[in-house]
Amino acid sequence: MSNRTIVTEDRRGNYYAQRVRECGPQYAGFDLLSAEVTISFLYTHDVLSQILNRLLAEHRLSRSTLNILMLLRHGPAEGMQLHDLGELLLVSRANITGLMDHLEEKGYVKRIVDPEDRRARYARITKKAEALLDQFMPVYYRFLKQLLRDLSEGEKESLIRLFRKTRASLFASAEQYPEETPGDISTLR
């Protein structure tokens, strides 16, 4: 990564942090730390996504296709139902049928109809896709290690714990989120 990219990244992060500090207090319910955590989380996700997308594109993969291939490679030997794949994706739950069409065209998956339930469709990974993963995954894992080289083992473990705790808070909050909020903004849509 060039120094220019790092400067641009710092500029964007600094810009949003400053705007939040200056503008946020004018809104009721504003909490500086919650806003900064959210922006930092989204910004970090965006930077990581851009970097990973570049690596994957060099190998003619996307995050969705890699995710599906890894689920199939390390899932049940008989394959996985398309519905289950869609639910387990870590990335966008985009049109699973479209993703499967693409992977099948490349020869990476085979779709199989369940003989006991003709409505159920399974996907199985092919030898071609297994060979691709055997070649790509060591490169991918070395790349991840390089990306996070400035974090100690303890810091990585702390981040994992904090991400889990954050997800738990998000899930719990999403279940409790009121249908209407004071000054309901749904009328503005």
Phi, psi of 169 (to 5 degrees): -65, -40
Question: How far is CA 101 from each of CA 150, 177, 188, rounded to the nearest angstrom?
Answer: 40, 37, 39
On the CB side of 44, CA atoms within 13 Å amount to 10
Angle at 81 between CA 75 and CA 86, to 5 degrees: 90
Domain chopping of the chain, boundaries: 1-58, 62-171
Q: Does domain 62-171 have CATH number 1.10.10.10?
A: yes
The pLDDT tens digits for 61-96 are: 999 999 999 999 999 988 998 888 888 887 665 678
* Distance in angstroms (rounded) separating the CA atoms of residues 188 and 26: 20
Q: Which stretches within 74-122 are classed as H helix?
A: 82-88, 96-105
* Distance in angstroms (rounded) separating the CA atoms of residues 5 and 109: 37
Q: Which amino acid does the sequence have at 51?
A: I
The pLDDT tens digits for 139-177 are: 999 999 999 999 999 999 999 999 999 999 998 988 776
Question: Residue 67: which of 46, 87, 50 has the closest Cα?
Answer: 87
CA 146 from chain center: how many Å?
A: 19
The pLDDT of residue 1:
44
Please give the model's pTM, rounded to 2 decimal places: 0.78
Length of the chain: 189
